Homo-oligomer: A and B are copies of this chain.
Amino acid sequence: MSGRELYRHATQVRVRNYEIDWQGIVHNAVYLHYFEVGRVEYLQELGIQIDVNTIQHESRVVVARNEIDYRSPARFDEELTVMTRIAELGRTSFTFEGWIEESSTLRPVAENRSVHVWLDSNGVVPVELPGEFIATVVAFEGKNCAVRPK
Protein backbone atom coordinates (compact mmCIF):
# COMPACT_ATOMS: atom_id res chain seq x y z
CA MET A 1 0.00 0.00 0.00
CA SER A 2 1.07 3.49 -0.71
CA GLY A 3 1.96 6.31 1.60
CA ARG A 4 -0.36 8.86 3.09
CA GLU A 5 1.04 11.69 0.96
CA LEU A 6 -0.81 10.23 -2.04
CA TYR A 7 -4.24 10.94 -0.56
CA ARG A 8 -6.22 13.98 -1.68
CA HIS A 9 -9.45 13.27 0.22
CA ALA A 10 -9.99 13.09 3.97
CA THR A 11 -12.92 12.98 6.36
CA GLN A 12 -13.31 12.43 10.08
CA VAL A 13 -15.19 9.92 12.20
CA ARG A 14 -15.38 9.79 15.98
CA VAL A 15 -15.28 6.37 17.60
CA ARG A 16 -18.72 5.69 19.09
CA ASN A 17 -19.11 3.82 22.34
CA TYR A 18 -21.07 0.91 20.89
CA GLU A 19 -18.22 0.17 18.48
CA ILE A 20 -15.92 -0.78 21.33
CA ASP A 21 -15.72 -3.20 24.17
CA TRP A 22 -15.56 -1.76 27.67
CA GLN A 23 -11.78 -1.36 27.42
CA GLY A 24 -12.23 1.13 24.64
CA ILE A 25 -10.98 -0.96 21.70
CA VAL A 26 -12.69 -0.89 18.30
CA HIS A 27 -13.69 -4.30 16.94
CA ASN A 28 -11.74 -5.42 13.86
CA ALA A 29 -14.81 -5.47 11.59
CA VAL A 30 -15.78 -1.88 12.38
CA TYR A 31 -12.85 -0.51 10.37
CA LEU A 32 -14.60 -1.67 7.19
CA HIS A 33 -17.40 0.69 8.15
CA TYR A 34 -15.00 3.59 8.58
CA PHE A 35 -13.41 2.95 5.19
CA GLU A 36 -16.90 2.86 3.66
CA VAL A 37 -17.65 6.28 5.10
CA GLY A 38 -14.52 7.48 3.34
CA ARG A 39 -15.47 5.96 -0.02
CA VAL A 40 -19.01 7.29 0.09
CA GLU A 41 -17.88 10.83 0.88
CA TYR A 42 -15.14 10.62 -1.77
CA LEU A 43 -17.68 9.76 -4.46
CA GLN A 44 -20.06 12.44 -3.21
CA GLU A 45 -17.32 15.04 -3.48
CA LEU A 46 -16.54 13.96 -7.05
CA GLY A 47 -20.23 13.90 -7.96
CA ILE A 48 -20.18 10.22 -8.89
CA GLN A 49 -23.50 8.41 -8.46
CA ILE A 50 -22.57 4.80 -7.70
CA ASP A 51 -22.74 2.57 -4.66
CA VAL A 52 -19.29 1.02 -4.26
CA ASN A 53 -20.07 -0.83 -1.07
CA THR A 54 -22.58 -3.31 -2.33
CA ILE A 55 -21.75 -6.81 -3.40
CA GLN A 56 -25.14 -7.41 -4.94
CA HIS A 57 -25.26 -8.40 -8.58
CA GLU A 58 -28.30 -6.27 -9.27
CA SER A 59 -26.13 -3.26 -8.79
CA ARG A 60 -23.75 -1.93 -11.38
CA VAL A 61 -20.64 -1.87 -9.20
CA VAL A 62 -19.77 -4.73 -6.86
CA VAL A 63 -17.02 -5.09 -4.28
CA ALA A 64 -14.89 -8.11 -5.16
CA ARG A 65 -12.14 -7.94 -2.54
CA ASN A 66 -11.17 -6.22 0.69
CA GLU A 67 -7.79 -6.08 2.43
CA ILE A 68 -7.24 -4.48 5.84
CA ASP A 69 -3.92 -4.03 7.64
CA TYR A 70 -4.31 -3.14 11.31
CA ARG A 71 -1.61 -0.77 12.63
CA SER A 72 -2.85 0.15 16.11
CA PRO A 73 -6.20 -0.17 17.90
CA ALA A 74 -8.56 2.79 17.88
CA ARG A 75 -10.12 3.67 21.22
CA PHE A 76 -13.30 5.23 22.56
CA ASP A 77 -13.83 8.88 21.73
CA GLU A 78 -10.80 9.16 19.45
CA GLU A 79 -11.30 11.23 16.33
CA LEU A 80 -10.00 9.38 13.30
CA THR A 81 -9.07 10.82 9.94
CA VAL A 82 -10.11 8.56 7.07
CA MET A 83 -8.20 9.23 3.85
CA THR A 84 -9.47 7.77 0.59
CA ARG A 85 -8.18 7.57 -2.98
CA ILE A 86 -8.74 5.61 -6.16
CA ALA A 87 -5.32 4.11 -6.76
CA GLU A 88 -5.91 2.22 -9.98
CA LEU A 89 -8.36 2.16 -12.88
CA GLY A 90 -8.37 -1.13 -14.76
CA ARG A 91 -10.43 -2.19 -17.75
CA THR A 92 -13.55 -3.41 -15.87
CA SER A 93 -12.48 -2.82 -12.28
CA PHE A 94 -10.88 -0.17 -10.09
CA THR A 95 -9.14 -0.06 -6.73
CA PHE A 96 -9.78 2.13 -3.70
CA GLU A 97 -7.17 2.60 -1.00
CA GLY A 98 -7.87 3.93 2.48
CA TRP A 99 -5.73 5.17 5.36
CA ILE A 100 -6.95 5.77 8.90
CA GLU A 101 -4.96 7.68 11.50
CA GLU A 102 -5.76 9.25 14.85
CA SER A 103 -6.39 12.89 14.01
CA SER A 104 -4.36 14.66 16.68
CA THR A 105 -1.27 12.44 16.86
CA LEU A 106 -1.32 11.09 13.27
CA ARG A 107 -0.87 7.61 14.78
CA PRO A 108 -1.52 5.07 11.98
CA VAL A 109 -4.55 2.92 12.75
CA ALA A 110 -5.42 0.88 9.66
CA GLU A 111 -5.07 0.62 5.88
CA ASN A 112 -7.52 -0.75 3.32
CA ARG A 113 -7.43 -1.81 -0.29
CA SER A 114 -10.69 -2.76 -2.03
CA VAL A 115 -11.36 -3.88 -5.58
CA HIS A 116 -14.65 -2.95 -7.29
CA VAL A 117 -15.98 -4.42 -10.53
CA TRP A 118 -18.29 -2.61 -12.99
CA LEU A 119 -21.10 -4.82 -14.28
CA ASP A 120 -23.67 -4.51 -17.05
CA SER A 121 -27.23 -3.52 -16.27
CA ASN A 122 -28.12 -7.14 -15.56
CA GLY A 123 -25.37 -7.21 -12.97
CA VAL A 124 -23.71 -10.28 -14.46
CA VAL A 125 -21.08 -9.43 -17.07
CA PRO A 126 -18.17 -7.08 -16.29
CA VAL A 127 -18.09 -4.13 -18.65
CA GLU A 128 -15.51 -1.45 -19.36
CA LEU A 129 -15.39 1.47 -16.94
CA PRO A 130 -17.36 4.42 -18.36
CA GLY A 131 -15.20 7.12 -19.92
CA GLU A 132 -16.82 9.81 -17.82
CA PHE A 133 -16.00 7.94 -14.61
CA ILE A 134 -12.36 7.55 -15.68
CA ALA A 135 -12.11 11.21 -16.65
CA THR A 136 -13.58 12.40 -13.35
CA VAL A 137 -11.27 10.27 -11.26
CA VAL A 138 -8.15 11.14 -13.27
CA ALA A 139 -8.99 14.84 -13.07
CA PHE A 140 -9.11 14.54 -9.27
CA GLU A 141 -6.26 12.12 -8.61
CA GLY A 142 -3.83 13.20 -11.32
CA LYS A 143 -0.81 11.02 -11.95
CA ASN A 144 -1.16 9.21 -8.60
CA CYS A 145 -3.91 7.07 -10.12
CA ALA A 146 -2.61 4.29 -12.35
CA VAL A 147 -4.72 3.81 -15.49
CA ARG A 148 -4.38 0.29 -16.87
CA PRO A 149 -7.07 -0.30 -19.53
CA LYS A 150 -5.37 -3.50 -20.66
- Say yes or no: A66-B68 contact (C-beta < 8 A), given A18-B53, A28-B32: yes
Number of copies: 4
Complexed CA–CA distance, A27 and B22 (Å): 11
Which of chain B's residues have a CB closer than 8 A to the CB of A25? 54-56
- CB-based contact B21/A29 at 8 Å: no
- CB-based contact B53/A73 at 8 Å: no
**Interface residue A63 (Cβ < 8 Å from any Cβ of B):** yes
Q: Give the total of A residues in contact with B, Cβ under 8 Å.
A: 37
- Say yes or no: A33-B16 contact (C-beta < 8 A), given A65-B69, A66-B68, A70-B63: yes
**Interface residue A129 (Cβ < 8 Å from any Cβ of B):** no
- CB-based contact B37/A17 at 8 Å: yes
Which of chain B's residues have a CB closer than 8 A to the CB of A44? 77
- Measured CB to CB, the closest approach of chain B to A141, in angstroms, equals 22
Q: Which of B26, B40, B51, B65 contacts A68 (CB 8 A)?
A: B65
Give me the 5 closest cross-chain CB pairs, A-B, nearest first: A21-B21, A29-B32, A25-B56, A66-B68, A17-B40
